[in-house]
C-alpha cells in the first residue's frame, strides 16, 4: 500500500544540467502518491520530527529514513539507450564492425524472441538487473516481435520500472528469419504495441510509468515506405517519442547514404521523414559534421551517449563529441547499450564518458568531461533526452520520487572512506569506484523496488 515517507541527510542532485549540488541536513518528504511534496534544507537531525509537524502534512510519513554521514540520496539513473533482447549477449562480438556484429551476433540472438517464454525469461532478468543497478528509467529497444514487445512492457509495468518501450522496425537488410514482412506489417504491429502500452496507462488511471516509443532500428533496416509511415505516426501522435541509431560508425553511415543517395547526411534524411524532432533520442552520434550538430540543436533532438559500446563494438574508437554538444546546448544523456559493451552499469558509462572525452581533448582539443558532468548526464540530462524532465531528474517539489539511497561506507566495494574525507570526496569515490552494492535502496514514484522495506 502506498504511504508517505521522509528522508533526512545529504542529497546530491542537479538543479540544472551541469550543476551538481551536495546538500547536507536536507529533509525530503514524499507523498503517498509518490511525488516530492516538500524539500527543507538545514534541518538538524534532532529537529526532523518537529519540522514534519510544522509542515502540517495531510499525512504524516509512516517511515523516516535517516542517512548516515557517508550516505547519500540521489536521483535515479536514466538509461537513454538500451536493447532489452541483448541482455543475454552482453560482451560478445568485441572488435567486429557494426554491421558484421549485427549479422553474426545480434540478429540470431534477437530472433529467439519469437518465443514468448524466452522473451519473458530474458526480459524479467533484464529489468531486475537494471533496477538492481539503480536504473529507474530506461528507453528500451525490443525485438521486432509484437508479442515479445508487449511482454517487455508488462514486465516493466509489473516490476515498477519507468520505461519507454519500442517495437524494433526493420523490413530490409536483415536475414529472412529476422525482419518484418513489409512496411505495412511493421507499422500495424507498431500500432498494436502502442495500443497495448497505452492500455496499461489506462488501467493505472493515467499514471502508468511505461510509455510507447517509435523505434526505427536505423535507416539501413527501413525502406522509404516504412520511414514515411513512422513519420506519419509521429505527426499523428505528438506525445510519442522516437528513438533510432544515428551516425554510429563510418560503416553504418556509408551504408545509409548508399541506400538513400538523395541525401548527403543522416540529419537531413531523418528530418525528411519527420523523425528528427524535439522528441527524438539519437543513439551514438559519434561522427558528426558541424552542419549536423547545428541541425540537432535547431530541432532540439537529444543524444544518447554510449561510450562503453562505442569503444567496444563497431569498428574503431568511436568517441562522440559530447563536449561540443553541451557547448551548443544539445540535450545529452547516457546509455549503456549493453549488448554491444562490457557493462550494463550507468556508473561505468559515466567513467567511460570521462575517458573518451579525455581522448578527444588530447586528439583535437575538444572539451573534456568531469565525473560531475557525467553524473548530471546520468540523471537530469537523461530525463531531458527522454522528454521526462517535468517528472524526474532531480529533487524539485512536485516531481516524482525516483531515487537511490547510496551507502558510501560499504567495506570492500568502493574506495575506502577515511575519517577526514569531505562529502564531495566520498561521493566522488562512489562515482569512480562504487557499484550496485552501494545502491541499497531504489525507488520509482515513491515505490520501493530494492532494499529492505521499512
List of domains in the chain: 5-75+395-450 (2.30.40.10), 77-386 (3.20.20.140)
- pLDDT of residue 421 exceeding 80: yes
Task: Please tell me the distance from the alpha carbon of residue 328 to that of residue 323, in angstroms, as a whole number.
Answer: 9
Mean pLDDT of the chain: 95
Average pLDDT over residues 10-37: 97
Give the pLDDT score at 157: 96
Q: For a pLDDT cut of 90, what percent of the chain falls above it?
A: 87
DSSP secondary structure, 165-225, as one string:
EEPEE--SSS-TTSS-S-HHHHHHHHHHHHHHHHHHHHHTTT--SEEE-BEE--GGG--HH
Residue-level pLDDT at 409: 82
- For 153-171, what is each residue's pLDDT tens digit? 999 999 999 999 999 999 9
The confidence score (pLDDT) of residue 316 equals 64
Residue 54 DSSP SS3: helix
Q: Using the predicted structure, report yes or no on whether residue 234 has a pLDDT greater than 70.
A: yes
At 91 the pLDDT is: 84
Q: Is 96 helix (H, G, I), strand (E, B) or coil?
A: coil
pLDDT exceeds 60 at position 70: yes
**pLDDT at site 202:** 80
Counting residues of the chain whose pLDDT is more than 70, the rounded percentage is 99
235 has pLDDT over 90: yes
* pLDDT higher than 70, residue 248: yes
User: What is the reported pLDDT for 338?
Assistant: 79
Q: How confident is the model at residue 38 (pLDDT cuts 50, 70, 90)?
A: very high
The more confidently predicted of residues 151 and 18 is 151
Whether the predicted pLDDT of 1 surpasses 60: no
The alpha carbon of 380 is separated from its chain's Cα centroid by a whole number of angstroms, namely 11
How far is the C-alpha of 157 from the C-alpha of 142, rounded, in Å? 15
Which residues, 6+ apart, have CB-to-CB distance to 250 below 8 Å?
A: 287, 315, 316
Note the pLDDT tens digit of each residue in 325-341.
Answer: 999 999 999 999 978 88
| Cβ–Cβ under 8 Å, residues 394 and 13 | yes
Q: Which band of pLDDT confidence, cut at 50, 70 and 90, is reported for residue 394?
A: very high
For residues 240 and 277, what is the distance between their CA atoms, to the nearest angstrom?
11
Residue 277 has pLDDT above 70, yes or no: yes
pLDDT at residue 340 in the model: 81
Q: Give the pLDDT band of residue 410 (cuts 50, 70, 90).
A: confident
Q: What are phi and psi of 336, to 5 degrees?
A: -85, -30
Asked if 360 and 352 touch (Cβ cutoff 8 Å), the reply is no
* Number of Cβ atoms within 10 Å of the Cβ of 261: 7
Angle at 177 between CA 146 and CA 281, to 5 degrees: 50
The H or E element spanning position 38 is: strand 36-40
| pLDDT at site 210 | 97
**Pick the residue with more confidence: 314 or 258?**
258
* 386 CB-near residues (< 8 Å, 6+ apart): 78, 80, 137, 139, 164, 241, 281, 302, 333
Structure confidence at residue 315 as a pLDDT band (50, 70, 90): low
Question: What pLDDT score was predicted for residue 314?
Answer: 67
Q: How confident is the model at residue 312 (pLDDT cuts 50, 70, 90)?
A: confident
Q: Is residue 313 within 8 Å of residue 307, measured between CB atoms?
A: no
Q: How confident is the model at residue 199 (pLDDT cuts 50, 70, 90)?
A: very high
Residue 454 binned pLDDT confidence (cut-offs 50, 70, 90):
low
For 9-36, what is the mean pLDDT?
97
Amino acid at each position: 500500500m502506498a504511504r508517505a515517507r521522509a528522508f533526512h541527510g545529504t542529497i546530491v542532485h542537479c538543479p540544472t544540467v551541469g550543476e551538481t549540488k551536495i546538500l547536507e541536513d536536507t529533509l525530503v518528504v514524499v507523498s503517498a502518491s509518490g511525488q516530492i511534496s516538500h524539500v527543507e534544507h538545514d534541518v538538524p537531525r534532532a529537529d526532523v520530527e518537529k519540522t514534519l509537524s510544522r509542515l502540517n502534512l495531510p499525512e504524516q510519513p509512516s517511515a523516516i529514513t535517516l542517512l548516515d554521514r557517508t550516505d547519500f540520496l540521489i536521483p535515479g539513473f536514466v538509461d537513454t539507450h538500451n536493447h532489452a533482447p541483448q541482455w543475454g549477449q552482453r560482451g560478445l562480438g568485441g572488435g567486429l564492425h557494426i554491421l558484421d556484429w549485427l549479422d553474426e551476433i545480434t540478429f540470431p540472438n534477437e530472433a529467439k524472441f519469437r518465443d514468448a517464454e524466452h522473451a519473458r525469461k530474458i526480459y524479467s532478468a533484464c529489468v531486475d538487473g537494471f533496477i538492481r543497478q539503480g536504473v529507474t528509467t530506461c528507453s528500451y529497444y525490443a525485438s521486432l516481435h509484437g508479442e515479445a514487445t508487449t511482454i517487455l512492457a508488462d514486465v516493466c509495468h509489473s516490476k515498477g520500472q519507468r520505461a519507454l518501450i519500442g517495437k524494433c522496425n526493420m523490413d530490409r537488410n536483415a536475414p529472412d528469419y529476422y525482419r518484418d514482412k513489409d512496411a505495412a506489417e511493421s507499422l500495424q504491429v507498431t500500432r498494436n504495441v502502442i495500443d497495448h502500452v497505452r492500455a496499461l496507462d489506462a488501467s493505472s488511471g493515467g499514471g502508468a510509468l511505461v510509455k510507447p516509443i517509435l523505434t526505427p532500428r536505423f535507416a539501413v533496416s527501413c525502406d522509404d515506405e516504412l520511414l514515411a509511415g513512422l513519420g506519419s505516426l509521429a505527426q499523428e501522435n505528438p506525445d510519442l517519442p522516437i528513438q533510432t541509431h544515428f551516425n554510429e560508425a563510418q560503416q553504418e553511415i556509408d551504408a545509409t547514404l548508399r541506400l538513400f543517395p538523395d541525401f548527403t547526411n543522416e540529419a537531413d534524411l531523418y528530418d525528411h521523414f519527420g523523425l528528427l524532432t524535439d522528441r527524438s533520442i539519437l543513439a551514438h552520434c559519434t561522427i558528426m559534421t558541424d552542419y549536423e550538430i547545428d541541425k540537432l540543436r535547431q530541432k532540439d533532438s537529444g543524444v544518447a551517449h554510449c561510450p562503453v559500446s562505442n569503444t567496444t563494438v563497431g569498428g574503431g574508437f568511436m568517441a562522440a563529441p559530447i563536449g561540443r554538444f553541451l557547448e551548443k546546448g544539445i540535450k545529452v544523456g547516457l546509455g549503456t547499450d549493453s549488448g554491444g559493451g562490457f557493462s550494463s552499469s550507468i556508473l561505468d558509462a559515466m567513467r567511460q564518458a570521462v575517458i573518451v572525452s579525455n581522448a578527444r581533448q588530447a586528439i583535437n582539443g575538444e572539451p573534456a568531461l568531469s565525473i560531475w558532468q557525467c553524473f548530471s548526464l546520468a540523471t537530469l540530462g537523461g530525463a531531458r533526452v527522454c522528454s521526462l524532465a517535468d517528472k524526474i531528474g532531480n529533487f524539485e517539489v512536485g516531481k516524482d520520487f525516483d531515487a537511490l539511497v547510496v551507502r558510501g561506507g560499504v567495506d570492500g566495494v568502493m574506495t575506502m572512506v577515511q575519517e577526514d574525507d569531505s562529502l564531495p570526496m566520498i561521493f566522488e569515490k562512489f562515482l569512480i569506484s562504487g557499484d550496485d552494492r552501494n545502491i541499497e535502496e531504489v525507488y520509482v514514484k515513491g515505490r520501493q523496488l530494492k532494499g529492505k522495506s521499512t
